[in-house]
Structure 1
């Protein structure tokens, strides 16, 4: 209880963590003689950010007369003062939950000092268990109060699905597996697949406006909101998923994918409600690239084989990807293409990102993915572009074939070729080298690809205009983070995923004439139910292949595509698709 003595309220609670006449720390406790010189450097009160005789608040500032009990308890908490808070962070002293919220109110949730407080707490939470992958401070819109105060929640991402209790102070936690997401996006995907091609084609102008809107706002959105993984245009919007009245409505919108819906990073603002008149929808998902996967040796190279360049993951395992396709380069002659992240290390990728395009990498490429495999070629060029409103982003590598040259445009034998619509009389092939401009593909055109783990998989082309972001690993200063604009979206058909780990760089095709195929792009990565594809024509242009075609094999049968493929071929360099 508080009592009045000489006009001053006295709060003598030994365990409440707040100041009182009997528990105010002396300066000698805050700064012992042995450590005073470390902080009391001439003119460094603001440069080093720690306490000194010049910037310590006085007792009169900490403890004044005529204050009400609530104001007293709040403002006399040491964590309300920037310099004391900096000192405690330096000493790795954790605040209580009450002190944390006091610091937030007084220092501001966007301040550097409060960010350091949250970072210190997150680091200690990560250290409480081996299966904690990430921790970040957040707040929820429903917990925002009229006076501007918020309720802080620490989001704990785990590598396992087993919930645990965290016994670190009295903070509020939200525990979730890093690979567990709500089913909301899957419901949206099912409704998207139910749309007829004709119904989507009539909305061509709307889809183009959505694509341009995303490209225009993507940089600002990614800069302001660190939790965005993917931005995609959509003709379906989810409403009230966590209520009893959940519905999917026909409304053009911009969908933002985040790892956890409802929790806003502490230093950021909520997402905008709309962009250029289009509503914003928020769904759960995480963008991943597709490194890794099994493979076997082939005497003659084929599209779809697993390849590597001796890049290791954090567990010292070889990272591999897929040989996408072959090109006849004007300088390097027969070459292969794949994603740059398959063949380039993070350090190399950062350099490529800085340069835009890099020649002369001259590093060996191996097949299959094991420590004993021998090189068959060398990386000669790599490119990175984030993209803009008029061109697609990409990160791709070109490697010269020096040994084990391919004999034809065939793929390895697939265990599920019959189920996928192919057989020995009509195998999956790509001999023609014909490519297709992304802007010419009709919505709901069926696409397919080969993967070493999945065999032949089929998907449905949805839309163009997605933005994807791969976050850098904060624990590795050399790790590579990037974003790519104007990617193609392929929806999973049925229960089997369209792409899996090991499929980065895989060539994505549509049906052509004479039992042959037409290339539209290479697999970049994906989230559950959706795979993002970089348009092949943009990659060829970046590599200087002005004729816009892949490698033509001698047994190719050229001609127009069948009328049910969703495309028509003319005599232009790249095939156009009539909507």
Structure 2
């Protein structure tokens, strides 16, 4: 017979935070049912790593990151100019064109396109060999019904997160707004990006590069050169750092893994045939867009609690969840292999037993003779 009960929810059953008591078995003579679960606001949020496109383009790119700039009621964001404009528009005159003509930008939210922004300024500077080439666009958010925060778009998996060396948490964010220049002291750090197409990938600094782009989805266009760029190569040869659709992604230096600390170092503008990424330093991008170096948005990191005991328990819970899920995945993937090995081992044991039995029988027969 069904009975009314009091339902209590917790993130993980079986773990009692330090200083807290177990849940009661009854409350006012009603039995208590403890379940795993959580609750959060159901509002849609625009995030770095989201898929974007302009109204007159068929291909897509990635929302890099947010900036605060004068004259904008809401935040703005940065991506690559070639994501939003046609090949014929890319050049020295793009900045004038972007200010004279209206270019709306849409973001993919729940697999539906929503017009949420308008280009304020776009630049494509690659004519001077002695200067850093910049391919970037600044987009004002025009629809304030969608919030934005420091979290990344959920385009990455748990395995991708673990592959970067980050454990103990299920998501990452960029909330500090800090930027950094790659130099001899930090170039050995791991570099990350969250792209709309390939999710979270990790790479390492390779060196300066002056790439020649054969075409931009237009086989009849002349080649394009980008000067004084930086190449980031993937940590894993099996996984490219950048794929088509990831252009515009911000690239971050991983300063610390627990807690995770990121600084922005550049924007991804192109990929190579061997899986590496062509990156423009973020300081040059901000300069070309006429933005100060401290203009990247700073968000309150809601996932961080200043109570060290809470942080310890939270990290423990997240780590336990990740390890449990990983073990489940491992068992599911290897169950058939284990069964096969057990069957093969059983056959070998049976063969040995038969040989022993035959030898014993032969000895008995010899003794009788």
Matches within 5 A, 1:51-130: none
* Structure 2 gap ranges (5+): 1-42, 305-369
| 418 and 383 in structure 1: CA distance in 2 versus 1, 3 angstrom threshold | same
Asked if residue 524 in structure 1 is aligned to residue 269 in structure 2, the reply is yes
Judge conservation of contact 1:435–1:549 (CA < 8 Å) in 2: no
Q: How far did 1:329 drift?
A: 1.7
Asked if residue 365 in structure 1 is aligned to residue 105 in structure 2, the reply is yes
Cα distance in 2, alignment partners of residues 330 and 440 from structure 1: 34
Could you say what secondary structure the match of 2:90 adopts?
helix
| 483 and 501 in structure 1: CA distance in 2 versus 1, 3 angstrom threshold | same
Matches within 5 A, 1:479-494: 479=221, 481-494=223-236
Q: How far did 1:516 drift?
A: 2.6
Q: How far did 1:356 drift?
A: 7.5
Among candidates 177, 182, 202, match of residue 458 of structure 1? 202
| 427 and 356 in structure 1: CA distance in 2 versus 1, 3 angstrom threshold | same
Q: How far did 1:504 drift?
A: 0.5
Listed one character per residue, the Cα deviations across residues 414-455 of structure 1 (whole Å, up to 9, x for unaligned) are: 213233333563632100010112456633321011123433
* Structure 1 gap ranges (5+): 1-297, 313-317, 558-579
Among candidates 545, 551, 555, match of residue 297 of structure 2? 551
Judge conservation of contact 2:45–2:149 (CA < 8 Å) in 1: no
Asked if residue 380 in structure 1 is aligned to residue 138 in structure 2, the reply is no
Among candidates 327, 341, 345, match of residue 86 of structure 2? 345
Match of 1:83 in 2: none
| 383 and 480 in structure 1: CA distance in 2 versus 1, 3 angstrom threshold | farther
Judge conservation of contact 2:198–2:246 (CA < 8 Å) in 1: no
Cα distance in 1, alignment partners of residues 93 and 109 from structure 2: 24
Cα distance in 2, alignment partners of residues 535 and 372 from structure 1: 32
Q: How far did 1:467 drift?
A: 3.3
Could you say what secondary structure the match of 1:409 adopts?
strand
Judge conservation of contact 1:349–1:480 (CA < 8 Å) in 2: no
Q: How far did 1:458 drift?
A: 0.5
Listed one character per residue, the Cα deviations across residues 496-537 of structure 1 (whole Å, up to 9, x for unaligned) are: 111111101111111135423101111111211321111111
Could you say what secondary structure the match of 2:175 adopts?
coil
Match of 2:309 in 1: none
Cα distance in 1, alignment partners of residues 116 and 222 from structure 2: 27
Cα distance in 2, alignment partners of residues 442 and 356 from structure 1: 37
Cα distance in 1, alignment partners of residues 207 and 246 from structure 2: 21
Deviates more, 1:530-539 or 1:467-476: 467-476
Instruction: Report which structure shows greater RCO (CA 8 Å, sep ≥6).
Output: 2
Between the two proteins, the alignment pairs up a number of residues equal to 253
Match of 1:76 in 2: none
After superposition, the CA RMSD in angstroms is 3.1
Judge conservation of contact 2:201–2:241 (CA < 8 Å) in 1: yes
Among candidates 113, 126, 132, match of residue 392 of structure 1? 132
Asked if residue 325 in structure 1 is aligned to residue 71 in structure 2, the reply is no
Asked if residue 542 in structure 1 is aligned to residue 274 in structure 2, the reply is no
Could you say what secondary structure the match of 1:408 adopts?
strand
Asked if residue 304 in structure 1 is aligned to residue 45 in structure 2, the reply is no
Cα distance in 2, alignment partners of residues 492 and 419 from structure 1: 12
Match of 1:501 in 2: 244
| 481 and 516 in structure 1: CA distance in 2 versus 1, 3 angstrom threshold | same
Judge conservation of contact 2:182–2:265 (CA < 8 Å) in 1: yes
Cα distance in 2, alignment partners of residues 356 and 534 from structure 1: 22
Q: How far did 1:475 drift?
A: 6.1
Cα distance in 1, alignment partners of residues 47 and 132 from structure 2: 27
Match of 2:307 in 1: none
Cα distance in 2, alignment partners of residues 376 and 327 from structure 1: 15
| 344 and 481 in structure 1: CA distance in 2 versus 1, 3 angstrom threshold | farther
| 309 and 392 in structure 1: CA distance in 2 versus 1, 3 angstrom threshold | same
TM-score by length of structure 2 reads 0.61
Cα distance in 2, alignment partners of residues 473 and 553 from structure 1: 36
Cα distance in 2, alignment partners of residues 543 and 440 from structure 1: 27
Listed one character per residue, the Cα deviations across residues 534-578 of structure 1 (whole Å, up to 9, x for unaligned) are: 111100011111234411113388xxxxxxxxxxxxxxxxxxxxx
Cα distance in 1, alignment partners of residues 78 and 173 from structure 2: 17
Match of 1:515 in 2: 260
Listed one character per residue, the Cα deviations across residues 307-335 of structure 1 (whole Å, up to 9, x for unaligned) are: 001344xxxxx200000001112333611
